[in-house]
Structure 1
């Protein structure tokens, strides 16, 4: 499947933002053997992020905003027009000045010297344009994080569906076994009725998860503008453990967050506006030069003049003070935002550690214990010591534990998405400049 290739500047931005979250799913790269053998159309996390960064409607407008900013910067470098003036003196009067014999005609050009003002105006416009790139980075990071959540949600539903279908098969096998025993007179019909009810419950549970799985795939595909998902499965697994994290180090990485860069850019914009306001309040000389025609002596002469505005050079003091107040506000808000981000990182990291602890408890202690309990219960059931009710209860306990384990893994990775977004970490290699397309 071919995709439109972005301009180089956008490709560079896509790669820069994508690597911020790629490490989140480095563990999602393995592909299930059954999917590859069956030729199932799959999509990876890297592809999903790249497609969304390349084609999400929210990001498309930034290219036009950059074009508009570039045009405004060019316009800022345009100075005032020179003025052509024509002046006629000593005509249509009385006496010696009757008629045009003593006329004096002056043709001149005047212009205002604004070199410093123009430079400051261009500089302010360029810094203002840089704000757009930072805003685009924030928007792209939001899109990438949303895509990560949708991918993670679809992946979790895919694994839940696998568990539900496995439980459904186990229930069907159990029903078939009980029917044989009922026909042989070893079990009462009530056991078969319970088994049929259990199969119906697990069939409904599988159907519910399948509906959620379909919805999550549609939500994921919508991130890059597809009305219908052109993939049937997702590459990856939630079973790979999350690496150890250092909370203090993560809090230090908050400085990479584009939201803080946004405050820095606004601070620079205020600084440039202050410089421009001071330059505009300064003395701007006007120079006039021209040629004068003297009819009385049939001769020409050069004329020149300089106009210097009067008054104080601090006429923009109120505007400068307002801009300085805005600049200090940005600095205070940046400090407050930094503290808030560090706090969020700490909270997300603590939540991640707890979810990982829960996940490890299910993986290493709870699920193995329930597996042994199920095996013992199944043996006792086959010996006639337990009823189907005890066997079904043991199977449900194991299924619930596996679902809880999956939920803990899912939560762990959700928290890691937030940490990646808050810290702006770049922990993986950049993506290629053009999307590879879906793979079989």
Structure 2
């Protein structure tokens, strides 16, 4: 009798330890010795090995060369002219020939050179914003995959806890059956629940493996053996007011890129106007008369007559593109504002869910399950009560993981949209560590 009582107490103790054990992924698995990757390391690996960013780096170099090319002046022209030779009569030979050696230089007026340089510089600045947007997008995708892996690891930890709890409950039922306090059919019900828990554990283990492989592809790596650092997954912080977040729209990368496109079209309009100014060509040379054996200087200036082409079509096109760029900048800001408002609403909702589950739902479900489990040992509750309370408790834990994932994804989305961190204690895209603007 004493042995059976001790066995029952041991089973309850094991169940209590499972219920109150911290949700540490891989706690009961041999993967605990695997290297742990933090989100900072994931971002660094991704940015270092991403071919899109490598291509953007080459484009940045090309834009820098274009800035240098835009400041180059027109080349001078060298000409050699030979007259009065190879004809008939006294011009049959070269005795009456006249030779002119001339050097010509076109002079750019209207500020063409500086306008070209400004267009190239604005293009380079726009390229930097496009590169920054690509970098933020790539880093955000990697962090999203990181969060998926962390959530999968958390689900595996919960599944392991559920398996361990069902094993301890099955042990307690066997002792009750041996003591004649329960029918043998109860063992089959608990055995079935244990089999379901083990099946769920295998499913989430496959989910973890798939999430790890997808994350490794972010830096073109093989699946490898690593786990994602998940100690901060349950950390949440109060969110700022929506109005405060909306004040930062103008400094966001998306709006800055649109503003950069507007500035470039302004410079293109200035260049089109400058190209409508005609450029004179100055020539200076020396002329030799073979018959008189004399030399003379030759000077010339030529100016195109702007009768038909004053670059009016290009100027009108540049004006239209400038109007378009202004409207696109306004549209980009409005679109960003809509996305930020949507993202803030998701974050606000997820935060409420996390706090409610953490402070109300899970403690109540745990207390209910513990009470029913102890009551079952005392014969006050039936088998179905225990199974129902267990299902409610672990369903609440699963909802908590989903809510935490939604919360962190919403934080990440706002960081991606605004190009800055929105919370002090929960941050993913640490811009100061990898931006080079």
Change (3 A) 1:272 1:312: farther
In structure 1, the residue matched to 2:45 is 51
8 A contact 1:283–1:313 mirrored in 2:
no
Give the Cα separation in 1 of the matches to 2:25 and 2:210. 22
1:241 aligns with 2:232: no
TM-fit CA distance, 1:101:
3.0
In structure 1, the residue matched to 2:66 is 72
Give the Cα separation in 2 of the matches to 1:277 and 1:236. 58
1:277 aligns with 2:260: no
In structure 2, the residue matched to 1:319 is 314
8 A contact 1:112–1:284 mirrored in 2:
yes
Q: Indicate which of 403, 406, 410 corresponds to 1:411.
A: 406
In structure 2, the residue matched to 1:62 is 56
Query: Which structure 1 residue ranges, 5 or more long, are not aligned?
Result: 1-30, 434-440
In structure 2, the residue matched to 1:117 is 112
TM-fit CA distance, 1:77:
3.5
In structure 1, the residue matched to 2:76 is 82
Counting only pairs closer than 5 Å after superposition, residues 228-377 of structure 1 correspond to structure 2 as 228-312=223-307, 315-377=310-372
Change (3 A) 1:164 1:237: farther
TM-fit CA distance, 1:156:
0.9
Q: 197-206 or 80-89, which moves further after superposition?
A: 80-89
- 1:53-102 C-alpha deviation (Å, 9 max, x unpaired): 22122211111112222333333334443222222233345665553333
Number of equivalenced pairs: 403
Higher relative contact order (CA 8 A, sep 6+): 1
Give the Cα separation in 2 of the matches to 1:263 and 1:113. 35
Give the Cα separation in 2 of the matches to 1:72 and 1:432. 29
Give the Cα separation in 1 of the matches to 2:273 and 2:180. 101
Residue 82 of structure 2: SS of its match in structure 1? Answer: strand
In structure 1, the residue matched to 2:96 is 102
8 A contact 1:282–1:314 mirrored in 2:
no
8 A contact 1:84–1:108 mirrored in 2:
yes
TM-fit CA distance, 1:110:
1.6
Query: Which structure 2 residue ranges, 5 or more long, are not aligned?
Result: 1-23
TM-score, structure 2 normalization? 0.86
In structure 2, the residue matched to 1:141 is 136
- 1:129-149 C-alpha deviation (Å, 9 max, x unpaired): 222211111111111111111
In structure 2, the residue matched to 1:3 is none
1:169 aligns with 2:164: yes
Change (3 A) 1:94 1:61: closer
8 A contact 2:43–2:143 mirrored in 1:
yes
TM-score, structure 1 normalization? 0.85
- Cα-Cα RMSD: 2.5
TM-fit CA distance, 1:32:
8.3
TM-fit CA distance, 1:190:
0.3
